[in-house]
Amino acid sequence: MGTSSKVNRGADVFGTTCVAMVTPFTPEGELDLDAGRRLAAHLVSNGIDSLVLAGTTGESPTTTTEEKTALLRAVKDEVGDRAKLIAGAGTNNTRTSVELAKASADAGADALLVVTPYYSKPSQTGVVAHVMAVAQATDLPICLYDIPGRSGIPLAASTIAELAELETVQAVKDAKGNFFESAELIEHSGLAWYSGDDPLNLPWLSLGATGFISVVGHAAPQALRELLTSFEAGDLARAREINADTLNVLAKHQAALGGVTFAKAALRLQGFEVGDPRLPVAPATEEQVEALRTDMQKAGVL
């Protein structure tokens, strides 16, 4: 499975401590590029070395290609080479995904995130053909996104192994959480592995993951970075403390509210106004915001 040339390439290509960044909107619901610049600069200045733009938390289903590429260009202009920029290019329409991949490459993306096609529930053969079409559209590195809870189907281990043979498929964002299956792939596929589920960040590191693509990192970028550095330094006690007392406290609200709603409410509490989500995703209620405020204070991020 895979090729040895891919080993250890993940950090250089996709970073290690990544936030799947929200797409900021004005009070009228339009794209807010100035807020996008400010947020990206804040995250990068506080330990984040990679940003996913136009992913799930970036509200990819309800933003246009023009909005996606405009935000990508603005963030690229703001952070330069201080962070890797990974563009969400996955949809449930292969033609659309190919067009989005090309547009993202033209806008300056460093890599692409390609989610398993959702709703359509294709066969694994269809998934392979879909990813191959996207891979052929540009020469950008690709991170597969395995999230059956949203897509309706998992990426089978054999599918991941097959796709790993493609030169540009170099990583997986794992929101499936099958440690037993993934441990072998991490060890032998040559793919970089990223935790795509914040409560599992620390366990994934123990299996050899390169890092995380996080939502709670919006509210706690420094803690997310320290989790990784503590683990790499062998300070497991500190890593467990950060995980339990900061990140998991926030992850509880992420699970209850959904990633977009959580992240936008948390940022607002910290003084970063990024607008409300676009429908059908709803903003947090006053009661939810107050509960979040209390736990953000408990977690030391407010």
Q: 122-178 pLDDT, tens per residue?
A: 999 999 999 999 999 999 999 999 999 999 999 999 999 999 999 999 999 999 999
Would you state the pLDDT for residue 7? Answer: 41
Which among 227, 14, 2 has a CA at the least distance from the CA of 112? 14
- Asked if 112 and 142 count as a contact pair (C-beta separation under 8 A), the reply is yes
Q: How far apart are CA 272 and CA 260, in angstroms?
A: 14
- Asked if 58 and 21 count as a contact pair (C-beta separation under 8 A), the reply is yes
Q: How far apart are CA 179 and CA 90, in angstroms?
A: 24
Q: In this structure, which long-range contacts are made by residues 284-288, counting pairs with CB atoms below 8 Å and at least 24 apart in sequence?
A: 284/257, 288/253, 288/256, 288/257
Q: Tell me: pLDDT of 9 over 70.
A: no
Q: Among all residues, which ones are annotated catalytic?
A: 145, 173
Predicted TM-score (pTM) of this structure: 0.95
Mean pLDDT across 107-120: 97
Q: Is the dihedral of CA 247, 228, 272, 23 positive or negative?
A: negative
Would you state the pLDDT for residue 10? Answer: 85
The mean of the pLDDT values for the chain is: 96
DSSP codes joined into one string, 258-290: -HHHHHHHHHHHTT----PPPTTSPPPPHHHHH
pLDDT digits (tens, 9 = 90+) for 281-301: 999 999 999 999 999 999 999
Would you state the pLDDT for residue 289? Answer: 98
